[in-house]
Each structure stands twice: as structure tokens, then as C-alpha cells.
Amino acid sequence: MNPVPFRSVKSAGPVRVQIDWSTVRKYATRAAVVAAAAPVAAAAAVMGLERVRRQQYPLDSPFPTAPPASTEVDDTTATVYTYGADLYAAMLDAIRSARHQVFLETYIWKDDEVGREFKQALADAADRGVEVFVVYDGFANLVVPRTFYDLPRGVHVLRFPAFRPGLLMLDVRRSGRDHRKILVVDDEISFVGGYNIGELYATKWRDTHVRLVGPSTWELRNAFIDIWNRWRTPDLPMLQDVGSPLWLPRLRAARNAPSELVFPIRGIYLDSIDRACSHVYITQAYFIPDEDIQAALLAAAARGVDVRVLVPERSNHVVADWLARGHYATLLRGGVRIFLYQGAMIHAKTATIDGRWTTVGTANIDRLSLTGNYEINLEVVDDGLAGQLEAAFRMDESNSRELTLEEWQRRHPLTKIAERVMSPLRPLL
């Protein structure tokens, strides 16, 4: 029989309570283990169920697409891509036309037909004397053989560390990834957005990228040089920035650098949502807003703004889906409309507000992206680009269904329990 942690001790005076601290510690430890294990066990269970479900119902349904569309933002031409095959053709054409320099930074770079085509284009550019610099994330590509990244002499390759010290302490700021996707060619053409490099993304995922042609390419060039010089190893050359005579406040790159405690992307979202007077259209792959962003969306809806959030009904990260659903009741009760993308993965990270303000980039609205990863988002104040992103949003809406508060309240009680059990995992995502 286990001893009780508290027992009375007889004495001539008042009753004294003697505490068996070893027993208290034992029970406290057991409780902590259970509390920590419960959300992990629940996450493992839903991942197992989703694996079975995905075999029966894969995320491979066709979805609406639009051809690339361009608009002028002062002296820069901005082109929106909503289909991977179109984007890859433009990126490869830029690399194959490079005369002086190529900067490529990507989160995932798969060893498949598309990945090898990019690899060959970079090698060919180096062969004709172009300076080529590549950054890829080590952790995101652990399943890819390291030999795939053995590029020919003349291609400088930086592997962002696969494991960082903060991982052991679950410190996202010191363990986050290089989640950016950037291509800069000859200081004239640049690309940024949500697309990684691989066959899957070419035709099976819906995502958004932007190409810049003109002086605003400096925004992405400068971003690449900063991360290269911050993380390069001694055997890699230092890159020199050339500066920019152009000051274009209507088109800027916001760059999260967690190791340097720089987090502007969250700030641009909060500022722009607070300004909204007409409508807010947000598209996100993984939507787990913090208290301030959720409060800003609810405040906008309360003052009559049409707030819409479009997310995948099922994403490639089922745990993120469940954590996102923990916010649905509050958002729906507060007047925020939620649209669930059907049959395929939507991976875009975009927003447009009042037909004027737009952001396109790599950051999700979750803690990992906004405070942990290296991320980059363009912030553009331009009616033309906002109109294009609104057209893309309406296109995606046509492949979505709206989730109502009544439907959400009718979900199974076990679903509600699972959401609560897994909620402690939110700070990790």
C-alpha cells in the first residue's frame, strides 16, 4: 500500500502535519509525465489515423488555376504565379539566362525530376562563368541524400544547420529553420513566395509566388546576402552588398531573423489588420494565430469589416490542422468567416486588405513562422497587385466550402476533447 503524503502527528499541543515530500514529488512527477504525454499521444493517434485516411482519400484532386498576371509597382514589374509549373518555367528561364550572378535559397529541394532540372541549370550557369550561391535547409532535407547537393566547382553551397542548440530546450527562436524561398538573378529578376522545389509542388499543390523585375529586386538580394553572411562557414566567401539608391516604401521586404530578435512580419500583419475598413482576405496553409492577431481579426469583424480566412480542410500536417481548429469557435462566434479548401493542399501565405495592401511570402500565421523561423514576406501597397491577389482569393474560394458556426458546434464530442488535449502543443507550432 502506497504511503499517503500527509499524516497527522499526535502531540500535546496543536495538531502538526508532517509532509512526506518524497511521495509528493513522486505524484507530482507522475502528473507531469501524464500531462506531457497526453498531447503527444493524441497527436500520434491523429497522425496514424490521417495516414490511413490519406491512402483512401489522397490530396490529389484538380483545382482551379490562373495564368501568371503582371502589374507595375512604380519602376518594378510584379508578376503573380498561382501554379507551380508556370513558376518553375520562369525560374529556370531566369537561371539559364543569367550572365553574372545567381542566388537561390530554398527550404525543401527534392531529388526528383524537377529538383534535378534546377540542379543542372545551376551547374550550367556556373560552367559559363556565372557566380552561383545556394542556401538550403539541412533539417527539411534530411530525407534527401547529401550527395544530391554536391554541386560542381564554382557553385557555393551553404547548408543551414540541421540541428540547432535550442531544439533540446524546445526554444523555437534558437531551433527554427530557414523557411525562406528566394531566387535572385543578375540583380534584375527575383522571386519569393511559398513554393519549394519538387514535382509535388509543380502540379499537385496550390501556392503563390511573386516575381519582381526591376530595381525592387534589391529587397530580395539584400535579404539573401544578410543570411548568407550570417550563417556562412569559413570556407565560403563573404558577399558584399551594393546598397540601393531606390527608396520605395510601397514595396518592401519584411524579414524575420530570430537569432537577431527581428520579427517584423507579425508587426505588418497587426498594423494592416488594424487599418482595415472594408475587407481582410487571408490565405494560410497553417493558421494558428496568437492572441494579438486573433484579437485584431475579431476587432476588425466587430467594426463591420468582412474578415475571411481560407485554409486547407486537410493539410499535409494534420497536427497543425487540429491546433488551428482550436481557434475556430472563437473566430466564428466573433464574425470571422472561415473557408476550407477542398481536395488538395493549399500552401499559400498571402493576405490582401481593402484592395490596397498585400503581402506574399513564406511566413505562416503561427508561432514557429512569426517568432522561430527565418522568413520573408513582401509588403506591397498597390491597387493593381491587391486586385490580382483578390482575384486569386476568389478563385480559391470557388474550390472551398464555408464553415459555419452551427456546423462547428455540432462536431463530435471526442473531437472537442482531442482539440483540448492537444492544445498544449500550440507553442511548438
Catalytic sites, residue numbers: 179, 181, 186, 347, 349, 354
CB–CB of 219/249 below 8 Å? no
Give the separation between CA 274 and CA 103, rounded to whole angstroms.
35
Q: Is the dihedral of CA 267, 272, 275, 278 positive or negative?
A: negative
Q: Are 289 and 327 in contact (CB under 8 A)?
A: yes
* Rounded Cα distance, 158 and 154, in Å: 13
Shortest CA distance to 193 belongs to which of 287, 91, 114?
91
All 3 cell numbers of residue 110? 527534392
Q: How far is the C-alpha of 86 from the C-alpha of 99, rounded, in Å? A: 22
Rg of the chain in Å (alpha carbons): 25
Q: Of the candidates 230, 194, 222, which has an alpha carbon nearest to the alpha carbon of residue 210?
A: 194
| Amino acid at residue number 173 | R
Nearest one of 6, 5, 27, 4 to 16, comparing CA atoms: 6
First to last CA, the chain: 42
Name the residue among 217, 138, 221 with its Cα closest to residue 179.
138
Spell out the alpha helix ranges (H) of 314-377: 318-325, 328-333, 367
CA atoms within 13 A on the CB side of 313: 19
d(C-alpha 75, C-alpha 380), whole Å: 13
Q: Which long-range contacts (CB under 8 A, 24 or more apart) does 257-264 make?
A: 257/226, 257/227, 257/230, 257/374, 258/172, 258/173, 258/174, 258/176, 258/371, 258/372, 258/373, 258/374, 259/173, 259/174, 259/230, 260/230, 261/173, 263/370, 263/371
